[in-house]
Amino acid sequence: MTKKIQSALISVFYKDGLENIVKLLAEQNVTIYSTGGTQQFIEKLGVRVVPVEDLTTYPSILGGRVKTLHPSVFGGILGRRDNETDVMEMKQYKIPEIDLVIVDLYPFEETVASTTDEKSIIEKIDIGGPSMIRGAAKNFKDLVVIAAKKDYAALEQLLRNQKGETTLEQRKSFAAKAFEIVAHYDVVIAQYFNPSGSLYFLESIPNPKAMRYGENPHQSGVFYGDLEKLFNQLNGKELSYNNLVDVDAAVQLIGEFGEEKNEPVFAIIKHTNVCGIAQRKTVKEGWDAALAGDPESAFGGVLVSNGTIDKSTAEAINEIFFEVLIAPAFNEDALTVLKSKKNRILLKLKSQPASKEQYKSVLNGVLVQGIDEGNYAEWKETGGRDTTGAEKADLNFANLVCKHLKSNAIALVKDKQLIGKGCGQTSRIDSLRQAIEKSRQFTFNLNGAVMASDAFFPFNDCVKMGHEAGITAYIQPGGSIRDNDSIEYCKENNLAMVITGMRHFKH
């Protein structure tokens, strides 16, 4: 539903960028209400303005602390135009409708940065501004709210192109921005009064869950979120801090393979790294192959599959100690087997996390980044020959697995089974040494295996070492100034190499 702006309330600290808007409003015969310095600014432009004091019949008092906090102002903002009672009361008390609110906030953050004088800082805590902005944003069905000068250009364009008409979608979009601005303002004030406080945006998340402890027993821990949206817990003790970290890694990994189709995937996670993973015709075969990849590291791990856990799989899993098992479904006879250990955590995965962002606390702030989506940006065959069908399938699988290992990361795969991995090493060649040693420890034959690297090969030493071990195909993002060294080695030795153009660092 479109609405035409016929009246506006303007009260801002920052006047730059406002002139064109005021003139456009005047040209469109919009009644403008204002007060204080903004009123003077508008009058100097030669534009007629109605003082807010004419509405309230009160002057600005208490040194300017109280000037707009009045029913005649807030009634005009909050009055619902489609509510008969509201309309009647507004007429009864001679409250004019306000269609546009342009209000910004006192520069509290800037004042804190420029002075330590508490009196000056306290006076920059805005009261009326946030109240008017919240009121106007709440009543977005009838009002447009502009809460920061960065949105002046968008309003000016709207006034020019739409002659003061606004759509519900546009009003709601401005309202969303306004609430974000007020929320940030409140957080900054709270942090001033409590500098050592927690990340205040977390306080908006309901029902925080206190952990038994954090990563270690001497550390405290709290989880903010709603696990019930993702899981039904079918058995076991409460999830610990470390459980949650590994469960997150497991869910991210299994999400790469989607829902079970013809061949389910089974994976084992330890300290957020993949220590075993395989794709097979049945869940039981997937478990057997994943466990075989590193049976030592599997002890005490987090298990995950995108297939239904049946009785035969449950009986095999039941032979080892593990912390958590995650799957989209469990057969009843499988649950009977798995519930034999009362502390064993069984999670039925209902959906993948919807968030597209990741957060990490660093120094005195928070880093935010988009999640690492995708497997490769391109599939560029650059070696001595093209990959075979089997190699291509294994390289695709290996690259997804490598993405979920800590950098520097190397994944060795054969027949869609992880048979060696190196992760968390300070040099790529050390990660490869670790991966080859792991594969030999569990008697895997590397002839015909493939290798994935989370980042480029800085030299051709990894390709040489892999070739000597029997590896025939490689996948890496490329981007090194010495890419050609590895490519030429592959060409000289009839090895396949794929450049993806997508790095997968994980720290």
What's the chain's length in residues? 507
Q: What are the CA-CA distances from residue 473 to residues 13, 256, 503 (Å)?
A: 63, 22, 18
Q: From the candidates 15, 271, 341, 491, which is the catalytic residue?
A: 271
Helices (DSSP H) in 320-387: which residue ranges?
Answer: 332-338
**CA torsion sign, 231 to 233 to 237 to 238?**
positive
The pairing of beta strand 31-34 with beta strand 222-223: unpaired
E strands, 271-396, are 273-279, 302-305, 324-327, 345-349, 357-362, 365-370, 380-381
Q: What are the CA-CA distances from residue 58 to residues 12, 31, 281, 339 (Å)?
A: 20, 20, 79, 72
Are the C-beta atoms of 5 and 164 separated by less than 8 Å?
yes
Which of 87, 206, 65 is closest to 131 using CA atoms? Answer: 65
Give long-range contacts, CB 8 A cutoff, 24+ apart: 337-343. 337/311, 338/235, 338/309, 338/314, 339/234, 339/235, 342/235, 342/236, 342/237, 343/236, 343/237
Task: Say which amino acid occupies 407.
Answer: S
- Within 10 angstroms of residue 287's Cβ, the number of other Cβ atoms is 27
**CA torsion sign, 277 to 282 to 283 to 288?**
negative
Q: State both tokens at 333.
A: 């006879």
Q: Tell me, yes or no, if 271 is annotated catalytic.
A: yes
Q: From the candidates 15, 23, 124, 138, which is the catalytic residue?
A: 138
Burial of 487 (0-12, 13-18, 19+ CB in 10 A): buried
- The residues annotated as belonging to the active site are 138, 271
